[in-house]
Amino acid sequence: MSHTDPLQPPHANGDETTELLSARGIRKSFGDNVVLQGIDFGVRRGEVVTLIGPSGSGKTTVLRSLNGLETPDAGTLEFDGGPAIDFARPVPPKQRLAMRDRSAMVFQQHNLFPHRTVLENVIEGPVRVQRVPKARAVAEAEALLERVGLAEKRDAYPHELSGGQQQRVGIVRALALKPDLLLFDEPTSALDPELVGEVLHVIKELADEGWTMVVVTHELSFARQAADEVLFMDGGVIVERGAPADIFTNPREERTRRFLDRILRPLD
């Protein structure tokens, strides 16, 4: 990739009216369990799209389908106006690698290498996969760690960090790959409540800086504040989509209203 500043989104000066990602008719089953029933959505450059909905609604499968961790049974995926990937046919390895090269995922459980330091975790992808010279990868990793307040933890091991610190390292590791698209799979669900805020703060700052993101989250206040578009999923379909103000204050669909009432209703 031509993007060289690790602290800026790749398309900082690009056209934000064009779709970076277009997903059409995405379907996925695991055996007899139909998980996705034809998902259509797009993400423009610099846009933040959040996926909300009950557990088991297919949100994570959508996310994993965007970077090749899952292979849909049908549908197409198109990056940046390039040739569409048609999942009805076998995906050529080169096309699959190109798809993965465009995005980076932050997982629920951090997924850091326990036997490597923070710095070693961050530079692993750039050095081994992208063949970035080690000295440059180290310098960029240090800048990113400074960016999220973890510069002093560069030589620490994951077990020496809090859950929130580990997840911030996970975010830095994704940023170090300089992806066009950041994918977050419920990035705070494994954290103690008091640690959620520090991670959401980093993600919100990235959103404000113009990084393109798709975020699966149960943190509805974050979705309300950070998202450009909210997709509500249930039963493997997108039931409703719209701006946060519309989804959270005036949802059109009864299924959306029931979900939000259940989540947002104060305890009796």
Q: Is the pLDDT of residue 253 over 60?
A: yes
Predicted pLDDT of residue 35: 96
- Cβ contacts of 10 within 8 Å, gap of 6 or more: 1, 3, 178, 179, 180
pLDDT at 1: 40
Q: Which residue has the tokens 């998202």?
A: 227
Q: Inform me whether the pLDDT recorded for 26 exceeds 90.
A: yes
Residue 90 has pLDDT above 80, yes or no: yes
Segment 68-91 shows an average pLDDT of 90
Q: Which helix (H) or strand (E) holds 154?
A: none
What single letter denotes the amino acid at residue 239?
V
| pLDDT value at 13 more than 60 | no
Residue-wise pLDDT tens digits, 140-168: 999 999 999 999 999 999 999 999 999 99
Residues 6+ apart with CB under 8 A from 124: 113, 116, 173
Residue 123 CB-half CA count within 13 A: 20
Closest CA to 174 of 164, 163, 186, 183: 183
Could you say which DSSP state residue 173 is in? H
What's the mean per-residue pLDDT of the chain? 89
3-state secondary structure of 215: strand
Q: What is the mean pLDDT of residues 192-211?
A: 89
The string of pLDDT tens digits covering residues 237-249 is: 999 999 999 999 9
Q: Is the pLDDT of residue 118 over 70?
A: yes
**Res. 3: pLDDT tops 60:** no
pLDDT tens profile 259-268:
999 887 654 4
pLDDT interval class at 2 (50, 70, 90):
very low
Does position 139 have pLDDT exceeding 90, yes or no? yes
Of how many residues is the chain composed? 268
**Chain segment 34-66, per-residue pLDDT in tens:** 999 999 999 999 999 999 999 999 999 999 999
Q: What is the pTM of this model?
A: 0.91
Q: Is the pLDDT of residue 28 over 60?
A: yes
